[in-house]
């Protein structure tokens, strides 16, 4: 009696299906076509060499067991592999190869997608495209607009930016590995990390770059545990040339994920692959991270992004407007840059709200509109008053220029305005006397202290002066 090879294979599939996750089953076993059974050797056709290697690496035990169950102890398996197109003719050809002969052929590169995102993680784009042998196709998840071109340089980001640029020029080959970028929120970590990735892709199109948020990494890891394919997960990450992990602080307290990341980190680092890590804190200040992982964060360069100064904030707004082809009056830009100081995302958010308001209500963008928006926008985010802002309010009030207040001039009214700016900075900001001094005409802390005393004395003794101070105080607090 002729044994039906299709039936045999179907029986094997039933067993396999019960033993692996259905996604993996669909991915790796769905495309297989049984082709013949001769001399107790079952031949199955697989779509590519990569496919064959994947099966051999991950499912060989299961395959062997099921084959022996169906065909008896002598039963064997053979693959018929559809190879890449050859140079001479365009037809795909197949080669046959017995099982467990994985190193017999070396050739093409094919990539197969497998989906490890399930359930909750559906909305997260899936970077999980399993690589082929040489070339791997990975969705980098890079955002085009987060380029170096769009990243405005300033004192606040100079070190991180230039280190990032150096890394992009020779990934894995500088001593900045990992490159650890840290700052408070909204100061450009994600943007800079993408910029490096984009630049690497530009310089080295064949390098595999992957941007992944740490949250996404954690979800993928949990899924891989649930689906019992941690190995796939680790292998995937170990094949990346430039790995960008954003917001690593989310890994705090997650021991298992830290463990797996530790291994991926070591593997990549040993192979001189580049790691770029961002965090909301410097490595030494991080909590809930295993010491061995923490120590690795310190291996390369840790560079922080600071709050941008006024000029940089203005430049960022201008760049944004220029890119969008929008023009708005300079005083509005300045007003925004003065008012929002600690978070670039909020700065951009305020700009967008103003643009939206103006187009919705067909209002011209004026400083008044900006003020209204800022009031709404910033009040509920508890605006921090900045020294720059205080100076601007004081200057506007006395109708003098900013240059004047910060100059060396000893004209009485200027000195008084400067002293008021110092006094209010002490009152309304958390800045130290020294910092206030530096911002107010490069004076030392003693000068600031003296200014505060003088203003306090005048408030006590001079009625008119007290009125000034009260009015100014209102304006500063808006
Ligand atoms: P973080 O990751 O530190 O929270 P983001 O990278 O998301 O901050 O930056 C917030 C916003 O500010 C983004 O829209 C980003 O494009 C913008 N931004 C930050 N730094 C700069 C910069 N130096 N030049 C231009 N835009 C910037
Ligand atoms: Mg970010």
Pocket test for ligand 1, best of 146, 150, 154, 186 (most atoms within 8 A of CB): 186
User: What pLDDT is attached to residue 100?
Assistant: 60
User: What pLDDT is attached to residue 208?
Assistant: 94
In the numeric block, the tokens 């003794």 are attached to 461
Atom of ligand 1 nearest to the CA of 280: 3
Starting at the earlier edge strand, list the strands of the sheet with 41-46. Answer: 33-38, 41-46, 76-82, 94-98
From residue 405, alpha-carbon distances to 12, 291, 394, 456, 471 in Å are: 84, 50, 9, 20, 19
| CA of residue 133 to ligand 1 center, whole Å | 36
Pocket test for ligand 1, best of 144, 344, 350, 351 (most atoms within 8 A of CB): 344
| CA of residue 321 to ligand 2 center, whole Å | 22
In this structure, how many other beta carbons lie within 10 angstroms of the beta carbon of residue 197?
A: 29
In this structure, how many other beta carbons lie within 10 angstroms of the beta carbon of residue 135?
A: 12
Atom of ligand 1 nearest to the CA of 308: 23
Say which CATH architecture domain 310-378 belongs to: Orthogonal Bundle (1.10)
Length of the chain: 478
User: What pLDDT is attached to residue 143?
Assistant: 94
For domain 387-477, which CATH number applies: 1.20.140.10, 1.10.1750.10, 3.40.640.10, 1.10.1060.10? 1.10.1750.10
State whether the Cα torsion 414-416-417-421 is positive or negative: positive
Would you kindly state where each structural domain of the chain is located, as residue ranges?
5-105, 143-304, 310-378, 387-477
Distance of CA 133 to the CA centre of its chain: 27
User: What pLDDT is attached to residue 61?
Assistant: 86
Taking every pair of Cα atoms in the chain, the longest distance, rounded to a whole number of angstroms, is: 117
CB distance 333 to ligand 1 below 6 Å: no
DSSP 25: I
Which of 341-359 are b and which e, b meaning 16 or more Cβ less than 10 Å from the residue's Cβ? bbbbebbbbbbebbbebbe
Transcribe 58-115 into DSSP letters: HSHHHHHHHHHHHH-TT-EEEEEEEPPPPSS-SS--EEEEESS-TTS-------EE--
Which ligand is nearest to the Cα of residue 280, counting in written order? 1
Transcribe 356-399 into DSSP letters: HHHHHTT----HHHHHHHHHHHHHTTTPPP-HHHHHHHHHHHHT
In the numeric block, the tokens 């530096």 are attached to 438
User: What pLDDT is attached to residue 455?
Assistant: 96
Which ligand is nearest to the Cα of residue 313, counting in written order? 1
Instruction: Report the topology of domain 143-304.
Output: Rossmann fold (3.40.50)
CB distance 185 to ligand 1 below 6 Å: yes
Atom of ligand 1 nearest to the CA of 344: 12
Long-range own/partner contacts, residues 397-404 (CB < 8 A, 24 or more apart): 397/468, 397/471, 397/472, 397/475
CB distance 248 to ligand 1 below 6 Å: no
From residue 38, alpha-carbon distances to 19, 45, 67, 78 in Å are: 27, 14, 13, 10
CB distance 188 to ligand 1 below 6 Å: yes
Alpha-carbon distance of 419 to 421, in angstroms, equals 5
Residue nearest to atom 13 of ligand 1 (CA): 345
User: What pLDDT is attached to residue 473?
Assistant: 93
End-to-end CA gap in the chain? 94
Kindly report the CATH class assigned to 5-105: alpha beta
Which of 173-186 are b and which e, b meaning 16 or more Cβ less than 10 Å from the residue's Cβ? ebebbbbbbbbeeb
If the chain, 478 residues long, is cut into consecutive pieces of 10 residues, what is the mean pLDDT of each piece? 81 90 80 89 82 81 90 88 50 58 36 33 40 53 95 95 96 95 97 98 95 95 93 93 97 95 96 97 94 94 94 96 89 90 90 83 84 71 75 92 88 93 92 90 92 95 93 86
CB distance 214 to ligand 1 below 6 Å: no
Pocket test for ligand 1, best of 191, 308, 320, 333 (most atoms within 8 A of CB): 191
């Amino acid at each position: 009696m002729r044994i039906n090879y299709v039936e045999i294979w179907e029986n094997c599939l039933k067993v396999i299906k019960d033993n692996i996750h259905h996604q993996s089953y669909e991915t790796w076993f769905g495309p297989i076509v049984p082709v013949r059974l001769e001399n107790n050797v079952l031949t199955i056709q697989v779509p590519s060499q990569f496919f064959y290697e994947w099966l051999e690496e991950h499912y060989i035990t299961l395959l062997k067991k099921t084959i022996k169950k169906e065909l008896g102890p002598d039963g064997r398996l053979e693959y018929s592999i559809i190879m890449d197109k050859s140079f001479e003719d365009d037809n795909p050809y197949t080669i046959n190869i017995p099982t467990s002969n994985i190193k017999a052929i070396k050739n093409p590169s094919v990539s197969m997608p497998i989906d490890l995102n399930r359930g909750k993680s559906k909305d997260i784009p899936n970077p999980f495209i399993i690589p082929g042998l040489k070339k791997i196709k990975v969705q980098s998840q890079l955002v085009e607009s987060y380029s170096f071109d769009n990243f405005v340089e300033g004192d606040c980001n100079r070190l991180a930016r230039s280190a990032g640029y150096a890394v992009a020029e020779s990934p894995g080959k500088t001593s900045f590995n990992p490159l650890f970028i840290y700052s408070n929120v909204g100061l450009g970590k994600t943007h800079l990390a993408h910029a490096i990735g984009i630049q690497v892709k530009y310089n080295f199109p064949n390098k595999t770059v992957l941007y992944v948020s740490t949250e996404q990494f954690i979800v993928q890891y949990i899924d891989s545990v649930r689906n019992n394919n941690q190995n796939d997960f680790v292998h995937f990450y170990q094949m990346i040339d430039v790995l960008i992990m954003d917001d690593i602080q989310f890994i705090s307290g997650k021991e298992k994920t830290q463990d797996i990341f530790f291994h991926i980190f070591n593997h990549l680092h040993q192979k001189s692959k580049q790691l770029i890590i961002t965090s909301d804190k410097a490595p030494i200040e991080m909590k809930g991270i295993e010491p061995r992982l923490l120590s690795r964060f310190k291996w390369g360069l840790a560079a922080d992004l600071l709050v941008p100064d006024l000029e940089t904030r203005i430049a960022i707004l201008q760049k944004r407007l220029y890119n969008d082809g929008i023009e708005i009056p300079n005083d509005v830009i300045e007003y925004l840059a003065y008012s929002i100081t600690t978070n670039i995302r909020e700065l951009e958010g305020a700009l967008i709200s103003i643009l939206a308001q103006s187009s919705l209500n067909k209002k011209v963008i004026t400083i008044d509109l900006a003020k209204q928006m800022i009031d709404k926008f910033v009040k509920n985010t508890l605006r921090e008053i900045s020294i720059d802002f205080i100076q601007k309010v004081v200057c506007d009030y006395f109708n003098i220029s900013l240059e004047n207040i910060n100059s060396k001039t000893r004209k009485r009214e200027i000195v008084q305005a400067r002293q008021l700016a110092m006094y209010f900075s002490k009152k309304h900001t958390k800045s130290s006397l020294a910092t206030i001094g530096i911002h107010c005409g490069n004076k030392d802390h003693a000068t600031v202290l003296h200014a505060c005393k003088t203003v306090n004395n005048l408030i006590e003794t001079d009625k008119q002066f007290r009125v000034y101070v009260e009015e100014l105080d209102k304006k500063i607090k808006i």
